[in-house]
């Protein structure tokens, strides 16, 4: 899947004394190609996460269009866009996410449960948990996990549907060096299977795994 952005920007209204707009992402074009791990680095507040969520179909741009294989995703109805995201897009969000009433394995399988049967993907879910180093926690509840273990669960969950595109927003936060390497190797291996992977990170060593590296600065993307 090719994800193409044309003329996208994101502005937020700030009701200050002078009533102004803050431009989180300045107008740009962008293409996310299959088979490559693309990294965006930059300081906190530079706009890189905002760009990621616009490209993922989760945050509508103020201007411009985002297309998945030529289809303008923000012109789709909500249910149509949800199905596209469920089938083809994997998102690893910042922070610690999960449904605390479910086990780790059930959380990983949650995307499959939305529109279908999870049984066919249970073996894949267990293998993904093994790859991120928490196979022994499959039956644990989220309240029993550390922050880093929650992060690794979210990575497995993002990959469960074998998505065409993976968006990873600071996926190695809370991880030690060994698990950081394991996650970056998994994302690089995913890209090598022909998937598109977009990685937003502060991790200094991530560049050695990336095929393309950009830097975000004050809403502008620079190669």
What whole-number distance in Å separates Cα of residue 106 and Cα of residue 181?
Answer: 26
What was the pLDDT predicted at 117?
80
Using pLDDT thresholds of 50, 70 and 90, give the confidence band for residue 92: very high
> How does DSSP assign 54-71, residue by residue?
HHTTSS--SEEEEEETTE
**Helical segments of 134-176, H only:** 147-159
What whole-number distance in Å separates Cα of residue 116 and Cα of residue 103?
Answer: 19
Q: What is the pLDDT of residues 29-41, one digit of tens each?
A: 999 999 999 999 9
Please check the confidence at residue 17 and state whether its pLDDT lies above 70: no
More confident: 219 or 174: 219
pTM for the full model? Answer: 0.93
């Amino acid at each position: 899947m090719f994800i193409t952005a044309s003329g996208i920007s994101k502005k937020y209204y700030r009701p200050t004394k002078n009533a102004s707009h803050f431009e989180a992402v300045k107008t740009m074009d962008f293409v996310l190609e299959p088979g490559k791990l693309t990294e965006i680095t930059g300081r906190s507040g530079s706009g890189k996460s905002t760009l990621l969520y616009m490209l993922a179909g989760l945050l509508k741009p103020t201007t411009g269009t985002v297309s998945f294989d030529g289809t303008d995703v923000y012109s789709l109805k909500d249910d149509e866009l949800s199905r596209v995201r469920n089938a083809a897009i994997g998102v690893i969000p910042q922070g610690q996410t999960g449904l605390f009433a479910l086990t780790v394995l059930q959380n990983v399988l949650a995307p499959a449960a939305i529109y279908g049967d999870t049984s066919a993907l249970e073996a894949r879910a267990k293998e993904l948990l093994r790859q991120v180093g928490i196979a022994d926690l499959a039956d644990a509840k989220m309240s029993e996990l550390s922050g880093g273990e929650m992060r690794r669960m979210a990575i497995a969950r993002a990959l469960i549907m074998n998505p065409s595109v993976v968006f990873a927003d600071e996926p190695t936060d809370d991880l030690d060096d060994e698990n950081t390497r394991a996650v970056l190797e998994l994302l690089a291996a995913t890209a090598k299977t022909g998937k598109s992977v977009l990685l937003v990170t502060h991790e200094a060593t991530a560049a050695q795994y990336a095929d393309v590296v950009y830097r975000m600065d004050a809403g502008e993307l620079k190669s």
